[in-house]
Amino acid sequence: MTAVATPDRTRSRGVAPTRGLRRPRRYRRILLYVALLAGSVPTLLPFVWLVRSALMQDSQMFVSPPEWIPAPFQWSNFSEALTTQPFGRYFLNTLVIAVISVIGTVLTCSVAAFSFSRLRWRGRDVVFALLLSGVMLPYAVTLIPTFVMWQELGALDTIVPLTVPSWFAGAGGGVFNIFLLRQFFLTIPFELDEAAYIDGASPWRVFWTIVMPLSKPAIIVVTIFTFIGTWNDFLGPLLYLQDEENYTLSLGLASFQSMYLTQWGYLMAASAAVIAPIVALFFFLQRYFIEGVTLTGIKN
């Protein structure tokens, strides 16, 4: 796409628009940045409000007009909020669930995507279309029977209902990952597979030593989105986890909120602590994030 667009762009600049356009163009650029700034203020303000409140004493928070700089910086909000409930434990619980889910999703989805894109078998496309049709299904439809099933199996209050489905790629949003990976696999030259098969390789070998190493970008995208999805999930833990020992961060924060309804310093400190890891992750993997969102939008 860019290869086509770039020469065009330079040409249009070479032709040079009529001279009258020059001055309005500069005003337009100033206007553009003013608009962007105006847009980013309401976007960032809630974050500023979050951080400011997380670092303030209650007495300073309840003054009118509002103050913006904490004086003094109440760092103890963080230490106190995070120790009144075992947030460290919640963090570990969430991490365990997220990591198990990510591994399961990436493995089973890419294996399936390999089968749907690079192996020919009868009924393949029908099966794939059937799986894809499940994407539109509202989660509410499967919620109750799935809950009852786990209850019958005695799996309530364990991480089983929150992790096992991810090892069966098709469950929930998994189908979308298969779709994404399949699209990516289709761009890898098929000659590679054929050469390997002639050398006597098995499909598993082709998958593991040829296709997977060439698909890192797509795998990273699936990893990130699965990780964020499980990290931020609320309904799942709410349904399946009861003992406070097993709470995830989201669940812990919700219960913390219901207990410290008016302790805004604590609440904001706890929220900031829940938000921070995800934001940090984003800054490290920014490029993949945007590519991922773009991929999900465009391919449809």
Tell me the CA distances in angstroms from 209 to 14, 76, 120, 212, 215, one per residue in order: 48, 51, 19, 6, 11
Number of Cβ atoms within 10 Å of the Cβ of 24 = 10
**Listed ranges 72-80, 95-103, 143-151, 152-160: which one lies at the site for another protein (CB under 8 A):** 143-151
Least distance between another protein and beta carbon 23 (Å): 15
Among 55, 172, 236, 246, binds another protein (CB under 8 A): 172
Residues from 148 through 167 that contact another protein (CB under 8 A): 148-149, 165, 167
**Choice between 146 and 214, CB closer to another protein:** 146
How far apart, in whole angstroms, are the C-alpha atoms of residue 63 and residue 103? 49
Nearest-angstrom CA–CA distance, 81 and 85: 7
Contact between 146 and another protein per CB under 8 A: yes
210 near another protein (CB under 8 A): no
- Nearest distance from residue 216's CB to another protein, in Å? 20
Local structure of 172: helix, strand or coil: coil
Q: What's the min distance (Å) between Cβ of 180 and another protein?
A: 13
Which CB sits closer to another protein, 43 or 213? 43
Site string for another protein, 230-269 (x = CB under 8 A): -xx-xx--xx---------xxx-xx--x------x--xx-
User: Do residues 198 and 81 touch, judged by C-beta distance below 8 A?
Assistant: no
Among 142, 155, 160, 176, binds another protein (CB under 8 A): 142
| 26 to 5, 31, 197: CA distances (angstroms) | 24, 9, 61
* Binding residues with another protein: total (CB under 8 A): 105
- Out of 14, 20, 65, 72, which residue is the one contacting another protein (CB under 8 A)? 65
d(CA 63, CA 214): 58
Nearest to another protein of 192, 238 (CB atom): 238
CA distance 55 to 70: 6
Q: Rule CB under 8 A: is residue 170 a binding residue for another protein?
A: yes
Of the candidate spans 70-78, 84-92, 123-131, 209-217, the one that interacts with another protein by CB under 8 A turns out to be 123-131
Question: Is 108 among the residues that bind another protein (CB under 8 A)?
Answer: yes
Contacting residues for 139 by C-beta, under 8 A, at least 6 apart: 172, 235
Q: Determine, following the binding rule CB under 8 A, whether residue 136 of this chain makes contact with another protein.
A: yes
- Report the alpha-carbon distance of residue 192 to residue 185 in Å, rounded: 12
Interface with another protein in residues 27-56 (CB under 8 A) = 29, 32-33, 35-36, 39-40, 42-47, 49-50, 53
Distance CA 139, CA 141 (A): 5
Look up residue 281 and give its two tokens: 């992750």
DSSP one-letter code for 229: H
Q: Which of 90, 114, 184, 288 binds another protein (CB under 8 A)?
A: 114
Shortest Cβ distance from residue 276 to another protein (Å)?
10
The answer to the question of residue 298 lying near another protein (CB under 8 A) is yes
d(CA 278, CA 257): 20
Write down the residue that tokens 């990290």 correspond to: 231
17 or 88: CB nearest another protein: 17
Among 71, 92, 99, 144, contact with another protein (rule: CB under 8 A)? 144
Query: Chain centroid to CA 281: how far?
Result: 10
